[in-house]
């Protein structure tokens, strides 16, 4: 009789706050476990329910001990005879002699010392695993009556110190509360499309009886997710309709000169995007356009065109980047061209003296500077523009930003958002909803696709000899340092040490520079400038070079411990090479395969298989491994937990339709608020 003495709740009496409760309200969760869950982004009961299994364990044959053979996965139903644990270095090995009526076998567990106390002789166990040299290696187990080793048991994205068992037990508890979340979809819509109840879908997602059932559940949850997105977009769009911008007159001679000054001819794709931007700028509603194009496709040239349109008529443009390094990089890229055009550009960073900063802000406020380059945070919160007309927002979260200062004056700038995490155009139109989309689908014609190879550590010397061959042929190279745990300072020190080590060994005799996030702005700029001018052969770097660095003569990159990086991040890093006509290479070095998690292997394989950012964005969503969850958000899309963009096109359509039918006070309203709030928050960070 462990049920509370109350009537079961129906979908009609939702208590959504129950899902907002912190995970500690579940039994067995203390501060240590809370921290581990936190690293996976799980803070509330609802987060736990939204932690989608990466896959399900496939069917495993139930066997008797005597009938076990080969390396096949099997399930055993046994009783414990005796158990004991020991340590070997950092490894804890727990061995239990277990038996059924046909025989006895030694079962082993690694690094689960606490289990020993529970393996009392006589305890009944269900074990799932494989035979190995020593007996039976357990991959999952049930003590007593629970049945988590069953077929289609969920396998969750997890970190090394968090067992699947723990996540399964906790989701079991959370599922008991799923009904409290309520049912956001009206019965009519549900029955028309024969959709399961949301609570049922959650149960089926975590505890499916078949792959089919799990997929139906996922689609129901994806629909809810897309619906929230659609509602948020509708709200945004409605707000924007009230805004006014000043239309710009058609492009004049400055833009003609810009085309002449560029060291290349704009491609058809670039010209097409420019034409779309021109049309937007002629209107009195502010431009809200997304320019998407893969890494290296040439978005910067288009962005600069857009801001120059403002400068040409005596108004101002802003270029906003997510980080200071990237802002600096943008500044270096456009400075030369702008100087030739006689356009004044200011770099606004927080890493200069207060006086210099005031001076720069003053120039922007007085209108003496035509283009301001800085981080989103800086430009939005600190800088007053005399007359901002066009803002370019690079790599910003899906919803982008509002120009508060400009809004206060009742006039909005035209905004161009740029992203290198592209998704197919038709999908982008739906996912981004209220943004118009331009796409640079093809890179400049002289490009050869980057060749990517994946080697394990023991063969890293071959990677370096290949790198040296490029250097000897007059090319330049990047070496990306491992992502170490810790602060920016730890990371910086590791990069410096690595550069030193390489100077003494693999790269002896070459000119090796090092950049990381702890360098003073001036130092960083001078190292970058030296590399750009060819005064350095190799740039050893942390991920500060992830975006924006542009040196076409750099044709090879080594990424150390590539398995630690996220897929989108690796794609961005790789985009630093392959920017000229020369064949470029990206060599990913990882630990040995058996040390890697499943998702790390999938990520590296995906990178070797394709350089297509669209495809990788999709794969990334599918794999959604450990690194992604812990790391920074690469794009707004990472918040789509259940949707599979390519497979779920029909759901996008359905969500659009259903969004029009829902009341404003539907259960989803709160989720919509939250989404809009978060987007705002990201915009400010």
Residue from 182, 444, 566, 613 in contact with ligand ADP (CB under 6 A) = 444
Q: Please report how close the Cβ of residue 553 comes to ligand ADP at its closest, in angstroms.
A: 10
Site string for ligand ADP, 160-189 (x = CB under 6 A): ------------------------------
Does 552 participate in binding ligand ADP (rule CB under 6 A)? Answer: yes
Does 336 participate in binding ligand ADP (rule CB under 6 A)? Answer: no
Of the two residues 118 and 265, which places its CB atom closer to ligand ADP in the complex?
Answer: 265
Buried b (16+ CB within 10 A) or exposed e, 428-466: bebbbbbbbbbbbbebbeebeebebebbbeeebeebbeb
Q: Please report how close the Cβ of residue 550 comes to ligand ADP at its closest, in angstroms.
A: 5
DSSP codes joined into one string, 30-66:
-HHHHHHHHHTT--BHHHHHT---SEEPPP-EEE-GG
Q: Are 439 and 516 in contact (CB under 8 A)?
A: no
Does 612 participate in binding ligand ADP (rule CB under 6 A)? Answer: no
Does 296 participate in binding ligand ADP (rule CB under 6 A)? Answer: yes
- From CA 149, how far away is CA 537, in angstroms rounded? 54
Buried b (16+ CB within 10 A) or exposed e, 401-417: bbbebbeeeebbbbbbb
Bridge partner residues of 41 (DSSP): none
Does 590 participate in binding ligand ADP (rule CB under 6 A)? Answer: no
Positions in 224-283 near ligand ADP (CB under 6 A): 264-267, 270
Of the two residues 171 and 584, which places its CB atom closer to ligand ADP in the complex?
Answer: 584
DSSP state of 111: S
C-alpha distances in Å from residue 108, one per residue of 77, 113, 125, 663: 15, 11, 13, 56
Helix axes 211-241, 198-206, angle to 10 degrees: 130
Residue from 300, 349, 555, 628 in contact with ligand ADP (CB under 6 A) = 300
Binding segment toward ligand ADP, per CB under 6 A, in 291-299, 498-506, 532-540, 607-615: 291-299
Does 299 participate in binding ligand ADP (rule CB under 6 A)? Answer: yes
Q: Please report how close the Cβ of residue 10 comes to ligand ADP at its closest, in angstroms.
A: 53
Of the two residues 546 and 602, which places its CB atom closer to ligand ADP in the complex?
Answer: 546
**Phi, psi values for residue 521, rounded to 5°:** -50, -45
Helix extents (H) in 8-143: 17-20, 31-39, 45-49
Of the two residues 560 and 634, which places its CB atom closer to ligand ADP in the complex?
Answer: 634
- From CA 254, how far away is CA 260, in angstroms rounded? 10
Does 476 participate in binding ligand ADP (rule CB under 6 A)? Answer: no
Chain Cα centroid distance, residue 5: 45
Task: Give percent helix, percent strand, percent coil of the chain, each to the nearest 5.
Answer: 45, 20, 35
Number of amino acids touching ligand ADP (CB under 6 A): 19
Locate tokens 């999908």: which residue?
427
Helix axes 211-241, 668-684, angle to 10 degrees: 70
Residue from 220, 468, 564, 579 in contact with ligand ADP (CB under 6 A) = 579
Residue from 68, 379, 392, 420 in contact with ligand ADP (CB under 6 A) = 420
Positions in 202-221 near ligand ADP (CB under 6 A): none
Q: Please report how close the Cβ of residue 431 comes to ligand ADP at its closest, in angstroms.
A: 20
Residues 6+ away with beta carbon under 8 Å from 368 = 344
C-alpha distances in Å from residue 490, one per residue of 484, 486, 503, 516: 8, 6, 20, 11
Does 298 participate in binding ligand ADP (rule CB under 6 A)? Answer: yes
Of the two residues 14 and 575, which places its CB atom closer to ligand ADP in the complex?
Answer: 575
Does 325 participate in binding ligand ADP (rule CB under 6 A)? Answer: no
Residue from 387, 434, 550, 678 in contact with ligand ADP (CB under 6 A) = 550
Q: Please report how close the Cβ of residue 421 comes to ligand ADP at its closest, in angstroms.
A: 11
SS (H, E, C) 477-537: EEEECCCCCCCHHHHHHHHHHHHHHHHHCCCCCCCEEEECCCCCHHHHHHHHHHHHCCCCC
- Residue 480 sits at the vertex; the CA angle it makes with 263 and 561, to the nearest 5 degrees, is 145
Does 534 participate in binding ligand ADP (rule CB under 6 A)? Answer: no
- From CA 140, how far away is CA 163, in angstroms rounded? 9
Q: Are 579 and 554 in contact (CB under 8 A)?
A: yes
Q: Please report how close the Cβ of residue 253 comes to ligand ADP at its closest, in angstroms.
A: 21
Of the two residues 297 and 476, which places its CB atom closer to ligand ADP in the complex?
Answer: 297
Binding segment toward ligand ADP, per CB under 6 A, in 70-78, 102-110, 202-210, 299-307: 299-307
Does 340 participate in binding ligand ADP (rule CB under 6 A)? Answer: no
Q: Please report how close the Cβ of residue 547 comes to ligand ADP at its closest, in angstroms.
A: 8
Of the two residues 419 and 430, which places its CB atom closer to ligand ADP in the complex?
Answer: 419
Q: Please report how close the Cβ of residue 420 comes to ligand ADP at its closest, in angstroms.
A: 6
Q: Please report how close the Cβ of residue 295 comes to ligand ADP at its closest, in angstroms.
A: 5
Q: Please report how close the Cβ of residue 38 comes to ligand ADP at its closest, in angstroms.
A: 34
Q: Please report how close the Cβ of residue 440 comes to ligand ADP at its closest, in angstroms.
A: 7
Residues 6+ away with beta carbon under 8 Å from 478 = 538, 539, 540, 541, 545, 554, 556, 557, 558, 576, 577
Task: Compute the residue count for the chain.
Answer: 685
Does 293 participate in binding ligand ADP (rule CB under 6 A)? Answer: yes
Of the two residues 200 and 439, which places its CB atom closer to ligand ADP in the complex?
Answer: 439
The binding site for ligand ADP (CB under 6 A) comprises 264-267, 270, 293, 295-301, 420, 444, 550, 552, 575, 579
């Amino acid at each position: 009789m462990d049920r509370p003495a109350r009537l079961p709740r129906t979908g009609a009496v939702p208590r959504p706050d129950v899902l907002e409760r912190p995970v500690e309200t579940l039994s067995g969760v203390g501060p240590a476990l809370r921290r581990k869950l936190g690293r996976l982004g799980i803070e509330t009961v609802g987060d736990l329910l939204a932690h989608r299994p990466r896959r399900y364990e496939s069917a495993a044959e139930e066997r008797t001990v005597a009938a076990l053979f080969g390396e096949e996965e099997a399930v055993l139903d046994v009783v414990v005879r005796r158990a004991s644990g020991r340590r070997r270095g950092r490894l804890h090995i727990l061995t239990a002699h277990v038996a059924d009526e046909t025989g006895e076998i030694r079962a082993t567990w690694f690094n689960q010392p606490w289990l020993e106390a529970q393996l009392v002789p006589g305890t009944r166990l269900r074990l799932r695993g494989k035979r190995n040299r020593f007996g039976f290696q357990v991959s999952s187990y049930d003590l007593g009556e629970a049945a988590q080793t069953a077929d289609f048991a969920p396998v969750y994205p997890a970190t090394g110190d968090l067992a699947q068992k723990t996540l399964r037990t906790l989701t079991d508890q959370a599922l008991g509360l799923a009904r409290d979340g309520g049912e956001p979809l009206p019965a009519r819509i549900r029955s028309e499309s024969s959709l399961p109840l949301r609570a049922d879908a959650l149960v089926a997602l975590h505890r499916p009886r078949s792959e089919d059932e799990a997929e139906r559940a996922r689609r129901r949850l994806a629909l809810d997710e897309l619906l929230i997105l659609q509602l948020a977009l509708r709200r945004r769009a409605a707000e924007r309709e009230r805004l006014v911008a000043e239309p710009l007159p058609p492009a004049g001679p400055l833009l003609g000169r810009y085309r002449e000054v560029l060291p290349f001819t704009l491609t058809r794709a670039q010209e097409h995007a420019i034409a779309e931007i021109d049309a937007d700028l002629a209107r009195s509603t502010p431009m809200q356009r997304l320019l998407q194009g893969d890494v290296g496709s040439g978005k910067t040239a288009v962005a600069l065109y857009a801001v120059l349109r403002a400068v040409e008529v005596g108004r101002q443009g802003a270029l906003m980047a997510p980080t200071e390094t990237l802002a600096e990089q943008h500044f270096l890229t456009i400075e030369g061209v702008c100087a030739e055009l006689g356009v004044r550009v200011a770099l606004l960073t927080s890493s200069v003296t207060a006086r210099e900063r005031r001076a720069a802000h003053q120039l922007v406020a007085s209108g003496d500077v035509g283009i301001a380059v800085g981080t989103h945070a800086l430009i939005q919160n600190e800088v007053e523009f005399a007359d901002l007309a066009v803002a370019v927002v690079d790599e910003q979260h899906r919803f982008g930003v509002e120009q508060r200062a400009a809004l206060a004056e009742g006039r909005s700038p035209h905004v161009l958002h740029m992203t290198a995490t592209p998704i197919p155009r038709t999908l982008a139109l739906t996912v981004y909803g209220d943004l118009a989309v331009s796409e640079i689908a093809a890179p400049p014609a002289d490009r050869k696709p980057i060749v990517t190879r994946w080697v394990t550590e023991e063969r890293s010397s071959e990677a370096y000899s290949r790198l040296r061959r490029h250097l000897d042929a007059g090319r330049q190279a990047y070496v990306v340092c491992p992502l170490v745990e810790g602060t920016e300072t730890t990371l910086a020190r590791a990069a410096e040490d690595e550069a030193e080590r390489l100077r003494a060994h693999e790269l002896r005799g070459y000119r090796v520079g090092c950049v990381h996030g702890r360098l003073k702005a001036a130092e960083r700029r001078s190292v970058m400038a030296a590399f750009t001018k060819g005064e350095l052969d190799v740039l050893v770097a942390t991920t500060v070079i992830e975006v924006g660095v542009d040196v076409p003569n750099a044709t090879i990159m080594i990424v150390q411990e590539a398995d630690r990086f996220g897929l989108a991040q690796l794609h961005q890093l790789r985009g630093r090479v392959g920017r000229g006509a020369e064949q470029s290479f990206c060599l990913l070095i990882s630990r040995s395969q058996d040390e890697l998690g499943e998702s790390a292997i999938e990520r590296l394989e995906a990178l070797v298989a394709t350089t297509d950012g669209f495809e990788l964005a999709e794969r990334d969503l599918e794999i959604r491994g450990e690194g992604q969850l812990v790391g920074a958000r690469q794009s707004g899309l990472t918040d789509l937990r259940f949707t599979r963009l390519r497979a779920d096109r029909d759901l996008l359509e359905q969500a659009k339709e259903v969004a029009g039918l829902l009341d404003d006070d539907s259960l989803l309203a709160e989720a919509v608020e939250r989404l809009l709030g978060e987007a705002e928050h990201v915009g400010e960070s």
